[in-house]
Structure 1
Amino acid sequence: MKDGWASLNENARGIADGMARDAERLRIAVSNGPLGERLIDAGAKVTGGVEAGLLMAEAAMGGLGTVSTMMDRNSRKWPLTVQVRSSQPVLACLGSQYAGWNLSDEGYFAMGSGPARALARVEPLFQTLAYRDTASTAVLVLETAKPPPQAVVEKVAKATGLEAGKLTFLFAPTQSLAGTVQIVARVLEVALHKANDLKFPLEDIVDGIGAAPVPAPHPDFLTAMGRTNDAIIYGGSVQLFVKGSAKDAEELAQQLPSRASRDYGQPFAEIFSRFKGDFYAIDPLLFSPAEIIVTAVDTGDTFRAGERDLYMLERSLG
């Protein structure tokens, strides 16, 4: 952990503690699992809500992002919008928020996101990130309707080097309001992840902000998953502030929008079904915001590419 940088996990633990104190107001449930791990249900067996989803998203970013809502008057059908901003976007999004840790176990499937990943460092991504957390507590966010089974808790404890009693798991299914909000709040993260895939120097990304519409939750998992992905792919907007040449900034702007993907042009649920549920068969370049703005802070130039696709939002969000 660099001098002067707060621990991602300590930041997230503070957010989780606040959620636990306000559990009744947030309509969430707090309990302890069999190994002493803290479980915070934000939408599985409880009502939860928008605020719970916003707090989940801020915890997932290790406290290095500000997540809020606004009403977009230019979007008549989906005015509720999530806005995400970070002045440490690489660390907040890739080092913490990205759901890159596979925690599946015998019928239980979940991808882990949040700052516990920075303690475990089991993903190849961390070979390119210099940050190391040394916290004595860890927070993990799971997009699932069930709390993690004992085997998963033990796996996380072993990987992070912590006792289970030092772990906090925040979870909510995609079909819930909190789950919907925290997934759409990844609009900035997907832009960072694609920039990394494009080999843009991560150290040159100095600030970022993103926004995407919040779709109505749906009881069917495939429909709910499709809507949250399409909210970003066809309705997300991101601005990145980068160092370096205007040429590099322009190239990044042109390559980042989702419409650069071969699979662009169908609702995500249909694409997912076409590839028989195989995420890895889908073109990874699809997972990106619809509209990109890149500002080169060293030259003062700004470049824009892509645009929100209202037709596709109509087909998917309803």
Structure 2
Amino acid sequence: MTYQKPLLVRRPRQSRPPLPRSADRCFPPMDYSPNQAATEIWDGLQSDPLARVRFHRVAEATVLDFGVETPGSIQAGVLLARACMGGLGRVSVVPCDPASYGVANAVCVETDSPRVGCLGCQYAGWPVQSDDYFAMGSGPMRLLRGKEKMLIEQDLGDKGSDSACGILESDKLPTVSAIDTIAGDCGVAPKSVTVGVAASTSIAGSIQIVARSVETAMHKLDDLEFDIRSVISATGSAPLPPPAERGNTIAGIGRTNDAMLYGATVSLWVDCPDESIEAILDKIPSSASADHGRPFAEIFAQYNHDFYAVDPSLFSPAVVAIHNLRSGRTFTSGRMMTEILRESFGT
């Protein structure tokens, strides 16, 4: 599985000021259900042979194999990433400059609801574990579970859905006990659960992981106690690495993380005082970490493949630009590292 930062122990936060009027428009309507939207994104896949997605029934739940027993597809990866954001983002695979990125394609993300779409849905903050199964869980089903500190602090939930839709990063399809765990934690019947599954070494799995450029920036901002409610819109791009050898999860982890750490570029549109940005700007990109500057597989091995031992400040995009709507100023920090991308991708 690909790393998502450990949930940090947070200090109690002071009450936040009212949202600026411009920010009121960045959230989905009150009756919008990310779980329902995610499920609808996958409608029609069963009859689309080009998507190369296989449907299964496990404990009455609908399980979509995007890249475990099937190679998946580019289309499947885009739909997996869109559903992971609860329908609150646009995802595309586009050409990029191989001289800069080491590969010829990148995954681009746009969202006008980064707090809900990225932190509320896309962040892989749920280690789904049962007696015979483990996977990192993401997607809007986390909103129904609602147990993560970040979701509680941000008052994020999905009250308009009686069904759960999520993504499991794994090279195995979920078992009956895993489905029962998801259904129980989300407070729905197993038949109301829909999950998509893909390995990090698959086409679709690589795309949905690399589509997290904005999400990593948002999570870093939240760790730095920046008021993420002031983030109005966001875009991000990161190189799409060639999938690692099937079954070589460590290599898949290395390539997808390197795409983010050394090749991802994120732009954020915010409405806040300039001083709030200046206070944390140089702490946002991955270059803020002492571990920065080596392929992630090498860093990971140094810490005996223990994610919790790696410096959490490493897990961020390579470059972040912040456009302040209030002052008209732009702030930029970070740098790309093409040679590390080439070394990691084998290009």
TM-score interval (norm. to shorter): over 0.9
The correspondence for 1:47, drawn from 60, 64, 71, is: 71
Q: Over residues 263-304 of structure 1, what are the superposed CA-to-partner deviations in whole Å (9 max), with x where a residue is unaligned?
A: 111111111111111101111110100011011110100011
2:131–2:177 CA contact under 8 A, matched in 1: no
Matched to 1:179, the amino acid is G
Q: Indicate yes or no: 2:160 matched with 1:125.
A: no
State the match for 1:150 in structure 2.
Answer: 176
The correspondence for 2:221, drawn from 195, 201, 221, is: 195
2:28–2:113 CA contact under 8 A, matched in 1: no
Aligned residues: 316
1:37–1:168 CA contact under 8 A, matched in 2: yes
State the match for 2:119 in structure 1.
Answer: 94
- Residue 190 of structure 1: how far off its partner (Å): 0.6
More RCO (CA 8 Å, sep 6+):
2
Q: Indicate yes or no: 2:315 matched with 1:287.
A: yes
Q: Indicate yes or no: 2:32 matched with 1:6.
A: yes
Q: Over residues 181-213 of structure 1, what are the superposed CA-to-partner deviations in whole Å (9 max), with x where a residue is unaligned?
A: 110001111111111100001111111110000
SS of the residue corresponding to residue 189 of structure 1 reads helix
Structure 2 matches for 1:19-38, cutoff 5 A? 19-22=45-48, 24-33=49-58, 35-38=59-62
State the match for 1:60 in structure 2.
Answer: 84
Structure 2: runs of 5+ lacking an equivalent? 1-26
- Residue 105 of structure 1: how far off its partner (Å): 2.7
State the match for 2:16 in structure 1.
Answer: none
Identity score, percent: 37
Structure 1: runs of 5+ lacking an equivalent? none
Distance 1:261 1:5 in 2: 40
Structure 2 matches for 1:1-318, cutoff 5 A? 4-22=30-48, 24-33=49-58, 35-73=59-97, 75=100, 77-106=102-131, 108-134=133-159, 135-219=161-245, 220-318=248-346
Distance 1:263 1:187 in 2: 19
Distance 1:221 1:203 in 2: 35
TM-score (norm 1): 0.96
Task: Indicate how the Cα distance of structure 1 residues 76 and 203 shifts in structure 2: closer, same or farther if over 3 A, else same.
Answer: closer
SS of the residue corresponding to residue 109 of structure 1 reads strand
TM-score (norm 2): 0.88
Distance 1:197 1:149 in 2: 34
Structure 1 window deviating more from structure 2 (226-235 vs 197-206): it is: 197-206
SS of the residue corresponding to residue 269 of structure 1 reads helix
